[in-house]
Structure 1
């Protein structure tokens, strides 16, 4: 795409449905692009929109920096909360314990991702068809390779569609 405007995403999503011969995807995984989120709500009103866990984890690493990368237990504990909590109650309890242990209650990004946990945390995906996908990491790998040949003009916004009952 040349730009990442709402109208451009609306066109892409509409064309996808047209080219696939209908119906809209049951679930769509994207990065945290707000403009894309608005277009998805407009073009795919009945589609469940979730965030790619890979992007969330990448941003946590960037935002928490030394805490995430230094030799302490935070990274392992954070990944346990993200990947192994099965119920919303388990997630809530483990999240609270993590914030308390590492003094992150007032951390802006940790507050933001907690408030949007229904978009990326495993327990909130229960009953949502995702074809066992929680990440667009394969798309990111392809994007990374393509960027070496054709650098993007703006930060990329990838999306991966999980379509129930369709072969793509």
Structure 2
């Protein structure tokens, strides 16, 4: 039994570092390609890249930042489990944070990105970006948030039952 718990904690710690690596590497790539490169090009050759294109690039990567926060939250939860924190409260908090991150990322991807790009004059088109992946992640995020609430409520019920016994 103790061996299984130690193995579980070790795997959680490894997964935490995998999440940190993913967030750092993808975050650096996003920052480089979506923000730093356009700013450098804009500074070197103002006619080549306009400020609007730099802003549009930042708008395009916004949902991905939410998704990366979700991955970071999973890594943080795994790190807490690796340190020996109780599973139920850690799971509930992690599910809520990941759910919010995926939900906001999905909503931003489907509704906000297209409309902000239209607002700054970077694109034309409809008011809704038919992004099936974004819609799916948004729905999964909402479900994870609700599951986090269920785990919290189960913990409260368990505490009440423990007091009765």
Greater radius of gyration (CA): 2
Relative contact order, higher structure (CA 8 A, sep 6+): 1
Q: 1 or 2, which has the higher helix percentage?
A: 2
More strand by share: 1
